[in-house]
Amino acid sequence: MKIVFAGTPEFAAQAMRAIEKSGHQIVLALTQPDRRAGRGMHLQASPVKVFAQEKNIPVLQPETLKQNHADLQKRTAAQEVFQYLSGIDFDAMVVVAYGLILPQAILDLASQNGRHGCFNIHASLLPRWRGAAPIQRAIESGDADTGVSIMQMDAGLDTGDTVLVSDLKITPQETSASLHDRLAVLGAELMVKTLNDLNEGIRITRTPQPVKGVTCAEKILKSEAEIDWHLSAIEIDRRIRAFNPFPGSTSSLDGKQMKFWNSCLPSRANINQDAIPGQVLDFSGDGVYVQCGEGVIEVLEMQKPGGKKMGASACLQSYRTQEKIMQFKKD
């Protein structure tokens, strides 16, 4: 089939690669405009754009798809995208972590002339965790399971009927980075199966999402990164793992902001009845034990300002003295 693909990050690019490899033809890629990133703040193309260019697939990068946008330049670009879509031959549209809202006019266009409509890969078991950050919020909330939902898109926020769903377990040591990679593979497989079924004329069952069980996965903000050591060890552990790789949990030690990349709940740790939240209790091989508002967390991986990620014990060796109490604090 001929596919219009809309997506931006690596999660989307993995699905795009799988679709192209399976024999379907991607006739257009829509992706976010190039963004400045890295230490040099140079413009960088999205993973979807990089792959599209490798395969000589046309790429459009509008800042919005709203044809009535107040900004004339953005409005004109959106109108040009719609005209381009109206003039090409395609069978279905696939949307994966695109970052722009598809207006009703484009959803309608994807269903005209015998087309199959717009399909979305969403990294949760809908209707749980609709929205921008389903992977992070699932880990932060301590969910035991998550998965991928292939959804027939409508104008709502992740409210469309599901056509294929598959679940997987969230491990106790899962980070958003590791879960992202597993879900990306699963999502690509499910989307290829959906397109193959459509191409072979196999009937696809659309299942309306239940009214009960709706939760919203709000966008992760940098302001959430700072650790509140008065929270329980369970809550802090979940947040450290949920915010890896973005935005990375932070806390200050001797005025320097440290980043926390991985942690776990120890089976046992030294208990100090006089310890205060944020206090380093002991070293544990590669990690360190830290007192929380309730319980103790074992921090496994950290990073100094300007340094590399490393085991927490090695990261803190230069701060280790017998006389001084090490305590992480909020800025």
**46-74 pLDDT, tens digit each:** 999 999 999 999 999 999 999 999 999 99
Per-residue pLDDT, averaged over 93-122, amounts to: 96
Cα–Cα distance for residue pair 62/322, rounded to 1 Å: 58
* pLDDT > 90? residue 318: no
The residue with tokens 């040009």 is: 80
**18-42 pLDDT, tens digit each:** 999 999 999 999 999 999 876 777 8
pLDDT given for residue 323 in this prediction = 58
Cα–Cα distance for residue pair 79/65, rounded to 1 Å: 8
Both tokens of residue 56? 């000589």
Instruction: Give the C-alpha distances (Å, rounded to integers) separating 71 from 13, 76, 104.
Output: 30, 9, 20
Per-residue pLDDT, averaged over 275-279, amounts to: 94
Cross-strand bridge partners of residue 261: none
Mean pLDDT of the chain: 94
Which domains, and CATH codes, for the chain?
A: 2-217 (3.40.50.170), 222-319 (3.10.25.10)
pLDDT band at 322 (very low <50, low <70, confident <90, very high): low
pTM of the complete model: 0.93
Map residue 3 onto helix, strand or coil. strand
